Each structure stands twice: as structure tokens, then as C-alpha cells.
């Protein structure tokens, strides 16, 4: 692959490589390497500062042929800022002029990519096995899903609700716990952060495919909060519960789940706190499916519902049972 520079100066760059044959009886498998950057923090802090997505790249690999078949790249105009910090520009390599003259917002970007998939016969509606691959869960769970719910975009298509976590797949394939981030897997000389990131992913996946790895069990993102009951005798894992404070008084359990969109909450895992008068007091206890999801929830401390910022703190299993039980 060559440098990413030919893909600019337009704010949307599309490189269709080959159309897909759809007359086969077996679903062909395509992996879509998905990467975003925001106007704020990157790497393992991505999404924790509630900054908007400014660039999105999708690179599609034909698993059987072990080659790229499509590349789709877009700059996305942020709504709430008028410039980037010097640190952000240096770290991301984003062209600020192109970014703020872009006429594409996040909903436009989602729609354009869906249209692109259909034009290349890569869309799941064409009977293909199409799944996202991310370096880790932050790109979908901490960036795209929360931003889409805050901005009220069109419903995310089905392919945004499951993904392969490349770190997990890599660790499983090579039975290692030493892989902390993509830089430790390999490094490519590429100044553009987002393009470098997706190219690193591409080469790692080729290596894994050549070594016999099969991408078979994607991780799924919770679509709706499930109702349920719990008992005071239930054994609640201590490291899965948070307390959210500062909620609007009319906030429902579904609204709380929307604030934590992208993270998986246990069935019946939102308990709204009541005052001594039996009214909601702006607090809730939330129980997540794993400690990892609770840690991601804590990163949303002082993120917003409307104009209100919500405080998120650690809580205990007993705290949850005292309210939900």
C-alpha cells in the first residue's frame, strides 16, 4: 500500500477496489477495519473526554483472498468546536482547513458509508458476512454509539452492533497477554494517525489469517436495556457497579441506559434512587456485565445529558441491592 496523501484533499475519499460477486451459495466473509479519531484524546483515552468524531476510516478485507477490496475515508465536521488544539493537530495529522470546510456531519457520514457498501455489493443485505474489526472496543462503544445517541442520528445499521476486538483476537491466536496496544504488534512509518492505525490493523490481520486464525465469534453491543428483578440474596460482583449523580429528575432507566450507550448493562441493571418522599432524587445505581464495562462507564464522568453533566463514581454490590432489591 502507498502513502495516504493521494486520498486528500477532498473531505471524503473513496477507493473502490473490486466489486463483489454475489451469486455464490456460501456467504463470503469480509472484515471492515474501523477507525475513528476525535477532536480530543487518542489511544487508550479515546472517547473519555466526550469530544466529537472528526475522521472515520473503513478498510474492507476479503478474508479468502487476504486483500483489501475497498477503502472509505471521511472528514466529519464537528458541531461544538471551531478549531483544533495544537496538540490534537499534531497527534492526529488532521488537516484543519479541510475538516472545518467539510459539509459532512456524523449522520451524513453514516449514510454515505452505507450507500458505498451497497454500491460495492459489500452490504450485509447482499448475503455477505460483513463484520467490523476494531483495535479495541473504544471506537464503537465509547465514541460512535454515545455520539449517535446524543446527536439523535439515524438508527445505526446492524453492522455497527457487533465487532471483533483485534487485541482479544490477537491474544487468543498467539496465547499472549503482552499485547497492550497496536503499536506493540507492529509499527509503520505513516504520519497520518488514522490511516497509520488502520494500515497497522490490516497487516496484523493478514498475518493472523496466514497463520490460520479464523474470525468467528464477534462481540455484540447491547441494543436495549432488559427489565428484570433482583433479590437481596443475589451475589452482585463488586467491580461491576457505578453510581450516577446529577440525572434529570424525570430520567427513566431507559434514559440512564442511553447515557451509557455502547456499554452492556445487566438485565434489570438500572436502579433509580428515591428520596424519603418516594421521588426520584437524580441518582441511579447501574450494574454492568463485566468489570471492563464498569471501567469504561467511569470514563464518562462529567459527560452530559443535555446541558447537565453527570457524575459517575464507583459503587458496591450492596449499594445496588439496597436500591434494586
* Cell (9 digits) for 138: 473504544
Domain assignment of residue 296, yes or no: yes
Identify each DSSP E strand in 230-314 by its residue range: 241-245, 265-274, 280-288, 303-305, 308-314
- 61 and 188, same domain (yes or no): yes
**Do 314 and 238 contact (CB within 8 A), yes or no?**
no
pLDDT tens digits, residue range 231-285?
777 788 889 999 999 999 999 999 999 999 999 999 999 999 998 888 889 999 9
> Is residue 296 classed as helix, strand or coil in its secondary structure?
helix
Domain assignment of residue 75, yes or no: yes
Ranges in the chain, pLDDT < 70: 1-11, 16-25, 176-191
Q: Which among 220, 254, 269 is the end of a domain?
A: 220
Domain assignment of residue 12, yes or no: no
The range of the structural domain enclosing residue 91 comes to 29-220
- 75 and 189, same domain (yes or no): yes
Work out the angle at residue 146's Cα, subtended by the Cα atoms of residues 79 and 105, and round it to the nearest 5 degrees: 30
* Cell (9 digits) for 3: 502513502
Q: Which among 185, 220, 255 is the end of a domain?
A: 220
- 270 and 314, same domain (yes or no): yes
> Is residue 311 classed as helix, strand or coil in its secondary structure?
strand
Q: Which among 161, 187, 220 is the end of a domain?
A: 220
- 35 and 175, same domain (yes or no): yes
**pLDDT for the residue 277:** 86
Q: Which residue has the cell 476479503?
A: 62
CA distance 35 to 198: 6
Residue 260: which CATH number?
3.30.70.330
- 188 and 60, same domain (yes or no): yes
**pLDDT for the residue 8:** 43
- 245 and 216, same domain (yes or no): no
Listing from the earlier edge strand, what are the strands of the sheet with 303-305?
265-274, 280-288, 241-245, 308-314, 303-305
- 172 and 247, same domain (yes or no): no
Domain assignment of residue 293, yes or no: yes
Neighbours of 100 (CB within 10 A): 16
The domain total for the chain is 2
Domain assignment of residue 233, yes or no: no
Listing from the earlier edge strand, what are the strands of the sheet with 53-62?
12-16, 67-75, 53-62, 29-38, 129-134, 162-165, 219-220
Beta-strand pair 303-305/280-288: unpaired
Cα dihedral across residues 149, 155, 161, 167: positive or negative: negative
- 201 and 317, same domain (yes or no): no
Domain assignment of residue 6, yes or no: no
CA distance 244 to 53: 25
- 211 and 252, same domain (yes or no): no
**Do 323 and 258 contact (CB within 8 A), yes or no?**
no
Domain assignment of residue 14, yes or no: no
Residue 122: which CATH number?
3.30.420.10
Domain assignment of residue 23, yes or no: no
**pLDDT for the residue 33:** 98
**pLDDT for the residue 183:** 59
What is the pTM for the complete model shown?
A: 0.89
CA distance 243 to 142: 18
- 165 and 247, same domain (yes or no): no
- 206 and 260, same domain (yes or no): no
Q: Which residue has the cell 509503520?
A: 188
- 78 and 107, same domain (yes or no): yes
Amino acid at each position: 500500500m502507498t502513502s495516504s496523501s493521494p486520498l486528500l484533499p477532498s473531505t471524503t475519499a473513496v477507493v473502490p477496489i473490486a466489486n463483489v460477486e454475489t451469486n455464490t451459495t456460501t456467504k463470503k466473509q469480509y472484515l471492515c477495519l474501523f477507525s475513528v479519531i476525535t477532536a480530543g484524546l487518542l489511544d487508550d483515552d479515546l472517547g473519555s473526554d466526550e469530544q466529537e468524531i472528526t475522521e472515520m476510516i473503513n478498510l474492507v478485507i476479503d478474508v479468502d483472498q487476504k486483500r483489501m477490496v475497498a477503502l472509505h475515508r471521511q472528514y466529519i465536521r464537528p458541531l461544538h468546536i471551531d478549531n483544533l488544539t495544537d496538540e490534537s493537530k499534531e497527534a492526529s495529522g488532521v488537516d484543519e482547513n479541510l475538516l472545518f470546510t467539510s459539509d459532512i456531519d456524523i449522520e451524513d457520514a453514516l449514510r454515505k458509508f452505507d450507500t458505498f457498501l451497497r454500491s460495492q455489493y459489500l452490504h450485509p443485505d447482499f448475503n455477505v458476512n460483513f463484520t467490523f474489526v476494531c483495535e479495541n472496543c473504544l471506537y464503537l462503544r465509547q465514541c460512535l454509539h454515545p455520539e449517535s445517541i446524543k446527536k439523535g442520528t439515524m438508527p445505526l445499521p446492524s453492522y455497527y452492533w457487533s465487532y471483533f476486538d483485534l487485541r482479544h483476537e490477537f491474544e487468543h491466536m498467539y496465547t499472549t497477554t503482552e499485547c497492550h496496544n497496536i503499536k506493540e504488534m507492529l509499527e509503520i512509518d505513516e504520519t497520518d494517525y488514522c490511516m497509520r492505525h488502520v494500515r497497522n490493523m490490516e497487516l496484523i490481520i493478514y498475518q493472523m489469517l496466514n497463520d490460520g486464525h479464523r474470525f468467528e465469534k464477534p462481540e455484540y453491543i447491547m441494543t436495549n436495556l432488559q427489565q428484570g428483578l433482583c433479590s437481596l440474596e443475589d451475589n452482585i460482583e463488586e467491580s461491576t457497579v457505578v453510581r450516577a449523580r446529577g440525572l434529570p429528575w424525570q430520567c427513566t432507566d431507559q434514559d440512564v441506559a442511553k447515557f451509557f450507550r455502547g456499554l452492556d448493562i445487566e438485565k434489570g441493571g438500572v436502579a433509580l434512587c428515591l428520596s424519603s418522599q418516594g421521588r426520584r432524587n437524580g441518582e441511579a445505581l447501574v450494574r454492568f456485565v463485566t468489570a471492563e464495562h464498569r471501567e469504561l462507564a467511569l470514563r464518562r464522568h462529567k459527560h452530559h445529558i443535555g446541558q447537565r453533566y453527570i457524575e459517575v463514581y464507583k459503587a458496591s454490590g450492596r449499594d445496588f441491592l439496597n436500591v434494586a432489591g
